């Protein structure tokens, strides 16, 4: 499935691994790279798809972690990352855009610091793939995890992990089995997607994801962003009509995510009112990002 639009997805196509979802992509990268004695830097903005693997490895695998806190504008200060690095730092992880606030993180600046320090950089692009430009040829990112069913418009049960050339052998595959290649060899392939894609793949889902990316490639990324901005503005107007609603509106560049709190209602009750009385769908709770 070679992506044809460089602004939508990085290239080349053989740098992609098909996964079950973005959670699967992140687990493959995190658990495949980190070993006892390693230190990892992440942020309090992360989804549990990052926080739980890191907590597990800290408790059982001899890995230590440092979590960075964003500034008052919602993004991670590059100087804070630089100060958090240690001689044994193996990996830095950040979301490209928070799934709670929508604030876009300065991944180019953060990635440059990682490159200078010789530290690998993993970006969670669940909220941005298909929405914001991505160019791994120009951006200092080593691994990029993506969800197929969000901005890429594909089916549920699909995900992608972009792995920089030359990095495959450093990542231990955590699913082993048949690949259709060199079956006489009991060791997994040393490189390429087959190293990580043992067993039958979700071919119907992949076909749907391929069709979605083909459709996206024919669209204008600028127009997609403008439509999202118009939609978000409309939601802001509608929500301001509800008494007691407080919109969480960051003053930094962000994607089309709109979070609210309310006086006198639990998040669950508010979501029920939105749906039953106004036909509005909302997700209540912590959004699987409990530290944000």
- 183 domain residue, yes or no: yes
How many C-beta neighbours within 10 Å does residue 266 have? 11
Structural domain for 233, as ranges: 221-278
Nearest alpha-carbon partner for 26 in 160, 167, 213, 204: 160
Q: For position 139, what pLDDT does the model report?
A: 94
Q: For position 220, what pLDDT does the model report?
A: 86
How many C-beta neighbours within 10 Å does residue 277 have? 8
204 with 248, same domain? no
Q: For position 289, what pLDDT does the model report?
A: 95
- 251 domain residue, yes or no: yes
Residues in the chain predicted with pLDDT less than 70, given as ranges, are 1-11
- pTM for this model (two decimals): 0.93
253 with 123, same domain? no
Domains in the chain, number: 2
130 with 237, same domain? no
Q: For position 9, what pLDDT does the model report?
A: 66
Q: For position 10, what pLDDT does the model report?
A: 59
- 283 domain residue, yes or no: no
How many C-beta neighbours within 10 Å does residue 58 have? 14
Instruction: Specify whether the CB–CB gap between 123 and 144 falls below 8 A.
Output: yes
- 292 domain residue, yes or no: no
Give me the chain's average pLDDT, please: 92
Q: For position 264, what pLDDT does the model report?
A: 86
Residues contacting residue 257 through CB under 8 Å, at least 6 positions apart: 97, 98, 99, 100, 101, 102, 127
Q: For position 8, what pLDDT does the model report?
A: 61
């Amino acid at each position: 499935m070679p992506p044809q639009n460089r602004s939508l997805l990085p290239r080349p196509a053989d740098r992609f691994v098909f996964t079950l979802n973005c959670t699967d992509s992140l687990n493959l990268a995190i658990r495949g790279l980190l070993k006892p004695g390693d230190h990892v830097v992440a942020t309090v903005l992360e989804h549990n798809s990052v926080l739980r693997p890191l907590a597990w490895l800290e408790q059982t695998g001899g890995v230590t972690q440092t979590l960075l806190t964003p500034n008052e504008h919602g993004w991670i200060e590059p100087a804070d990352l630089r100060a958090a690095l240690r001689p044994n730092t193996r990996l830095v992880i950040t979301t490209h855009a928070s799934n709670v606030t929508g604030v876009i993180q300065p991944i180019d600046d953060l990635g440059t610091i990682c490159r200078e320090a010789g530290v690998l950089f993993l970006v969670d692009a669940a909220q941005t793939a298909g929405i914001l430009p991505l160019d791994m040829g120009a951006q200092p990112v080593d691994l990029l995890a993506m969800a197929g069913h969000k901005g890429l418009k594909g089916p549920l049960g699909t995900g992608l992990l972009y792995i920089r050339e030359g990095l495959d052998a450093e990542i231990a595959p955590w699913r082993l089995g048949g690949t259709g290649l060199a079956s006489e060899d009991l060791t997994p392939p040393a490189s390429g997607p087959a190293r990580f894609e043992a067993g039958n793949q979700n071919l119907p889902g992949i076909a749907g994801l391929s069709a979605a990316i083909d459709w996206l490639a024919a669209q204008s990324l600028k127009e997609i962003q403008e439509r999202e901005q118009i939609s978000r503005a409309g939601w802001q107007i509608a929500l301001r009509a509800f008494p007691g609603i407080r919109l969480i509106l960051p003053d930094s560049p962000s994607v089309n995510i709109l979070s609210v709190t309310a006086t006198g209602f639990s998040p669950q009750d508010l979501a029920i009112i939105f749906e039953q009385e106004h036909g509005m769908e909302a997700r209540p709770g912590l959004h699987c990002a409990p530290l944000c």
